[in-house]
Structure 1
């Protein structure tokens, strides 16, 4: 496995090694010892999976508040997504900045998003499956969200035009409505595509 840092501390790209032959390939997706020593010293407690039937489906931007904040390890075994992390750590120099990249079954990339970030993604292909391991179980009383199209954050989603989004995600607040005392930085964070 190879690890690549991103423009946001706490967000790391993981590239598993694929061993290919005429049958296909084999790769190790997760090794606890490697992950805990090289990426983050955490334990995962739950695996989640979502299916997006159509391209341009947006899920997010979601997070959980303390004491059940979640770190997430995201991978895509079928299809492709544009995966996004937004820094919500008000004491961070990159508060309000985002990082995005394509995760796909073809490239095999994974992304680690530590606690303190909102997470969301847009499906790029039909019948896309997204898996994510999380460090805390879901808690309805601690869930939060930010508008996926918040202009102050300025995520450059790869599919323009109509998107498919749940009523709940369509009505999430903007970041400045939640953190009026913490100005959003306007540092440009280039996505890895």
Structure 2
């Protein structure tokens, strides 16, 4: 695997190294030893998947409040997505910064998302399947979110969303709830 650190500390792009022959290819997608050598999470207690029917579907921006913050290893196993994270860690040099990666089934790249980041994505094709390895069990009472179009963050989405859940539309703007992160276990920004 090829590990590339990203501008948000602890975030990585992880690309498989494919061994190809006349049958197709083989690639390692996870190796506990390689992850541990880089100080990355190696224990993923939940494996989840999402399916989005329509191009332009937007899911996010989600996080879990302390002490249930999650590290995620995200991959797109069918179609293409524009995957986005926001750094919510107040002690981080990239606090409230966002970054994105395009993930596709063809490329097979994984997005390693460190604990303390909000996560979301927009589908770039129809019929998208996204796979998640997650370090903590889902805790419904710890679920939180930030509006995908929060002007304080300023995510430059590739396209206007065509499908978005009512729940994701109901997440607050930071200007409406400046103590949002404090109530999530993070100090106010």
TM-score normalized by structure 1?
A: 0.89
> May I ask how many residue pairs the two structures share in their alignment?
182
Within the alignment, does 1:167 sit opposite 2:176 as a pair? no
Instruction: Within 5 Å, give how 1:8-157 maps onto structure 2.
Output: 8-157=8-157
The structural deviation recorded for 1:182 is 4.6
Instruction: Quote the offset at 1:93 in angstroms.
Output: 2.4
Instruction: Indicate yes or no: 2:12 matched with 1:2.
Output: no
Q: For the Cα contact (< 8 Å) 2:41–2:71, is it kept in 1?
A: no
1:156, 1:101 → 2: CA distance?
12
RMSD over aligned CA atoms reads 1.5
Distance 2:100 2:174 in 1: 18
- 5+ unaligned residues in a row in structure 2: which ranges? 180-186
In 2: Cα distance, 1:177 partner to 1:90 partner: 19
CA contact 1:12–1:39 (8 Å) conserved in 2:
no
Q: Is the 8 A contact 2:41 2:135 kept in 1?
A: no
CA-to-partner distance for each residue in 1:9-36, whole Å, 9 max, x for gaps? 0211101101122322111111112112
For 1:182 and 1:91, locate their aligned partners in 2 and report how far apart those are by CA, in whole Å. 11
Query: Could you tell me how far apart the structure 2 residues matched to 1:177 and 1:87 are?
Result: 19
Spell out, residue by residue over 1:45-74, the C-alpha distance to the aligned partner (whole angstroms, 9 max, x if none): 000100011110011100001111111000
Cα 1:182–1:75 change in 2 (3 A) is: same
Unaligned runs of at least 5 residues, structure 1: 184-193
Distance 1:178 1:23, change over 3 A: farther
Residue 39 of structure 1, CA deviation: 4.8
Misfit runs of 4+, over 6 Å: none
Q: Secondary structure at the match of 1:137?
A: coil
SS in structure 1 of the partner of residue 163 of structure 2: coil
1:158 counterpart SS class:
coil
What CA distance in whole angstroms lies between the structure 2 residues aligned with 1:122 and 1:158? Answer: 8
Deviations 1:65-86 (A, max 9, x none): 1111111000111101000010
- Superposition TM-score, scaled by structure 2 size: 0.91
